[in-house]
Copies of this chain bind each other. A is one copy, B any other.
Amino acid sequence: MIEIVPVEGLPEIHEGADLAALIADRITLTDGDVLVVAHKAVSKAEGRVVRLAEIEPSEEARHLAADEDQRRLEVILRETARIVRSRPPLVISETRHGFVCASAGVDSSNAPEPDTVVLLPEDPDASAAQLRERLRELTGAEIGVIVSDSFGRAWRQGTTDVAIGLAGVRPLVDLRGVRDPAGYELHATVIAVADELAGAAELAMGKTAGIPAAVIRGAGAAGEGTGRDLLIPAERDLFR
């Protein structure tokens, strides 16, 4: 059996907050647990918040904004390595990390104050590793950590939470070469376990209830890798 336990009662997170300590105060962690933290809590603790009043929109941002806030589009463009699709004011970007997502991951909801937007962490794998190390110090528990975000998908309605950074979790389970009970090789089967863990955690979080973290127990997902392992290499991607 797998259990998903929300981390309840976390306060609003501000820059410099010891997020690991706030979590450790509210839930008991044991070896093998996977802690999933919504990136927004991580980004706020890391100060990845931009005041729109300080942003001067470029020509391109003004064009892409349609009737929406041009300064927000400017922030999105600064986080964008490449625009994959746009229909103003909607922009699907490839971020500097290599993620393909709406608005380059820039988000206005759950921002710490009006007229600010929250960026993705600079290095979500490093964020996950730091949380993991600090939680090991505080609790002694050997856990995995996933930093998650809500991504839209091509062809499918709605967002699911996926892993943008991780530490101590295997991102993929590769069953290529493994045989099914009938002896047939499962040659196309690589499962994005870390994304399924992130989505499962979202079920317990509740966007509006202000619960930005959940712990998954019994998933047997300990391992090594990075959030980048979940990106398709450009030469194998049929949708770039």
Binding site for B on A (CB under 8 A): 1-6, 12, 85, 87, 90, 92, 99-100, 102, 108-114, 150, 153-162, 171-172, 175, 178-182, 184-193, 195-197, 199-200, 202-204, 207-208, 210, 219, 221, 229-232, 237-240
Of all chain B residues, the one with the shortest Cβ separation from A196 is B199
Number of copies: 2
Cβ-neighbour of A157 out of B3, B160, B192 (below 8 A)? B192
Q: Are B92 and A184 in contact (CB under 8 A)?
A: no
22 A-B residue pairs with Cβ-Cβ distance under 8 Å, sorted by A, are A2-B3, A85-B238, A99-B155, A100-B154, A109-B185, A109-B186, A109-B187, A114-B182, A153-B192, A155-B239, A157-B172, A157-B192, A157-B232, A158-B191, A159-B190, A160-B160, A180-B210, A189-B207, A193-B203, A196-B202, A199-B200, A200-B203
Tell me, rounded to whole Å, the shortest Cβ–Cβ distance linking A97 to chain B. Answer: 12
Q: Are B156 and A229 in contact (CB under 8 A)?
A: no
Q: Are A239 and B238 in contact (CB under 8 A)?
A: no
A4-B1, A156-B230 given as contacts; is B195 within 8 A of A208 (CB)?
no
Tell me, rounded to whole Å, the shortest Cβ–Cβ distance linking A232 to chain B. Answer: 5
Tell me, rounded to whole Å, the shortest Cβ–Cβ distance linking A84 to chain B. Answer: 8
Provide the residues of chain B in CB contact with A110, threshold 8 Å: 180-182, 184
Provide the residues of chain B in CB contact with A90, threshold 8 Å: 238
Q: Are B111 and A192 in contact (CB under 8 A)?
A: no
Interface centre among A85, A184, A195, A196 (most CB of B within 10 A): A196
Of all chain B residues, the one with the shortest Cβ separation from A153 is B153
Provide the residues of chain B in CB contact with A238, threshold 8 Å: 85, 87, 90, 92, 154
Tell me, rounded to whole Å, the shortest Cβ–Cβ distance linking A152 to chain B. Answer: 9
Q: Are B192 and A160 in contact (CB under 8 A)?
A: yes
Q: Are B172 and A158 in contact (CB under 8 A)?
A: yes
Tell me, rounded to whole Å, the shortest Cβ–Cβ distance linking A115 to chain B. Answer: 10
A108-B184, A196-B203, A199-B196 given as contacts; is B157 within 8 A of A162 (CB)?
no
